[in-house]
Amino acid sequence: MGPLRISNITPSRMAASLGRSATTDRRFHKRYGTEEISLTFRGVEHPVLNWSQGGVLLTDRHPDLPVGSTISGILSIRGQGGRFRFDARLLRRDTRAKELALCFIDPSPALATALSRLSERS
């Protein structure tokens, strides 16, 4: 028996079989553009370009930090009391746009609740 051929499955057919359009964003969480969130890690405050329940996109101020690195820091939300500790993984770097994408690792219930409340206001 030879290898399985799937040459007749186009990206649009595959997307349709998954209940998506071929141009659908692959993210699991809706993105929000806001200046209400900032992250502090490696001694620097980072305004967030956009965010979701799963992570953030921010300006790359640490070009030496390798993709795959784990980052620990503090997340602050303007208008909500408290600061929230977080751990995140550096998923990707866009060197042309000078942006980093971080994915939260096991966010605390308090952080998840705060982000949920903020999403309801956005």
Q: What pLDDT is stored for residue 33 in this prediction?
A: 72
From residue 105, alpha-carbon distances to 19, 49, 54, 87, 93 in Å are 27, 19, 8, 5, 18
Residue 17 has pLDDT above 60, yes or no: no
Give mean pLDDT, residues 69-77. 96
d(CA 52, CA 109): 15
Residue 99 has pLDDT above 50, yes or no: yes
In order of start, what are the domains of the chain with their CATH numbers?
27-121 (2.40.10.220)
Summarised one tens digit per residue, pLDDT across range 31-44 is 667 668 899 999 99
Q: What pLDDT is stored for residue 79 in this prediction?
A: 78
d(CA 41, CA 120): 26
Q: What predicted TM-score, i.e. pTM, was given to this entire model?
A: 0.72
